Amino acid sequence: MSQIFLPLLFLLFFLVGCSHRSDMQSFAKNYYGGKIEQAYSFAANQGEKSDLLWNMQAGISAFQLGKDDSDSLLNVAEVQFSKYESEGLLSGVFDTLSSAAVNDNILPYRGYIYEGVLLNYYKALAAMSRKDFAIARVEFNRANDRQRRAKDYFSKDITKAISQQEKDFNQKTTDANQPRGMVDLTANSSSQFLENEYSNLSAFKAYHSFINPSVSYISGLFFMLENDYSKALDLFKESYAINKASLINEDVAILKKRQMRVNSSHTWILIEEGHGAYKQEKIFSFPAYLVSDKVLNVSVALPVLTAGSSVFSQYRLGHGASFEEIANMDSVIAREYQEQLPFVLARALAGAILKMYMQAELAKQFGDAGVLFGGLYSIMATGADVRISLTTPYRILATRVKNQQKDIAILGDGHSLFKINFQFCGDDSHKMSKIVTTKVKKAHQDAIILCNNQDNILYLRVTNAGVYFQLLKGEMK
C-alpha cells in the first residue's frame, strides 16, 4: 500500500460517511419541517441511484402526498429489499470482512425486516386509496407473511452471518506477528463492557414477537370490510395479543354482528404520528498502549438507538372518544435491533481488530510514517452506520365512530387538527371526486365530507408541521 493511496482511501471513506449523514439530516428536516414535497423530491432523486433506503422514503412520502408514482417507487424498493432478504440481510453483505476494516456506510443499505413489512403495508394502503382492493389484499397478505417469518429468518441469518464473519476474520488475522493484545480485545470483558455501556435497549419496551400489531389490526379491518371474517378475526386476535386495545374487542363484536347480517356504517380513523426511533453514533475508545506501541488508535463505533417522539400526548374526537395506541413503532424497531445486537457488537470488534492489524503492518513497512498514517486511517475509517428509514412514525393510533350527521373534530391535546362531517350519498355518489391529498394548515379549514351510509377508513399522518390525509375506504364529496 503506497503512502499516497492510504490517505486518499481514508479520505474517501470519511467523505462517504459524512455524505450519508448530511443527506439523512436534510431529508428529516424537510419531512418533519412541513416541506414534505421537498423531502419527497430529494428522496426520489437519491433513489435513482438504486438505493433501497431512498426509494422506500420516496415511496412512502409519495403515498402521503397522493402522488401517482408512489406505487412504482414502493415496488422498486420492495424488489430491492426482497433481493437482499433472499441473500440474508446480514450475512449477504459480508462475503468478505474487508468492509469491516473501513466503514459500513460504503455498503448498500439492506434494510430491516420491519421496513420490508412496511413496504407491503404502504403498498396496501396506496392500493386502497385508489380503490384497487384486489392488490390491497395481496399486499396485506405479503406484509403479514413477512413478519410472521421473521423469527425463523433471524435465527438462521444471524447465525450464518456471525459464522461467516468469524471464518473470514480468522483468515485475515493468522499472522503470527500481529501485535500482542489484539485477540484480547475480543475477550468477554470487552464484549460485556460494550453491551453494558452501549445497549440502551432496556429503555425501550420492545415487543416480545416480531409482529407489528398495527399491520395485523389494519389488515384485519380491511378483511372485515371485505367480508372475509375468518381471516379478519385471526388478525384482530394477533394484534390484540400484543396491544390489548379495547377498540379491537369492539371491532370483533361488530364483525360477529356482520356475520349475522346485522350492519351499521362506521368510520375508522387511523393516525400515524410523530418521529420514530432513529440511530446516532457513539464511539468507544480503548487504551492503545495496552496493545502495541505501533498502534495509535483502538476504537469502536456503534449505532445507538435513540427514542422517537410524539407530536401530541393524547388524541380525541370532539365528543370525547379517545384514540387508542395500536402500535408503538419504537417497540417494533427495538425488537429487531435487539435481535441484531450480538452481530453488531461482533462486527464492530472485528473491525477494530482489523484496523489494529493494519496499523501494525503499516508500522512494520513504513516505520513512524506508517504508525501515523495507520492511526489517522483508523480514526477516520471508524464510523457507525446510522442509516434507517426516517418516515417511520412514533405511534399508530385508531378510533371508530358510528356515522352520523354532525361534524366531528379530531383533537391533539385539545388543538383542532382535522374535521369531518357526514352526508347521505344517494345515486349521485359515483360523481364524487377522487380524493386529493392536502396539507391541513389551519384548524378552521372546512371539513371533509364523507358518506354516512357506507363504511369509511380515514388515514392521517401527523407531524409537528401539519397533517396529511388519505381516504382509504369510502367516498368523499
For residue 161, the model assigns a pLDDT of 66
For residue 420, the model assigns a pLDDT of 92
Cα(388)–Cα(62) distance, integer angstroms: 18
Q: pTM for this one?
A: 0.87
For residue 263, the model assigns a pLDDT of 87
For residue 209, the model assigns a pLDDT of 87
Cα(68)–Cα(443) distance, integer angstroms: 28
What cell does 165 get?
Answer: 464473519
Q: How many residues does the chain have?
A: 477
Residues of the chain short of pLDDT 50, as ranges, are: 1-8, 11, 15, 95-96, 176-189, 429-444
CB pairs under 8 A, 24+ apart, for 309-312?
A: 309/274, 309/275, 309/394, 310/273, 310/274, 310/394, 310/395, 311/273, 311/274, 311/412, 311/462, 311/463, 311/464, 312/273, 312/412, 312/413, 312/415, 312/462
Query: Cα–Cα distances in Å, from 25 out to 20, 52, 152, 237, 274?
Result: 9, 17, 34, 39, 16
For residue 2, the model assigns a pLDDT of 44
Amino acid at 370: G
CB 450 within 8 A of CB 436: no
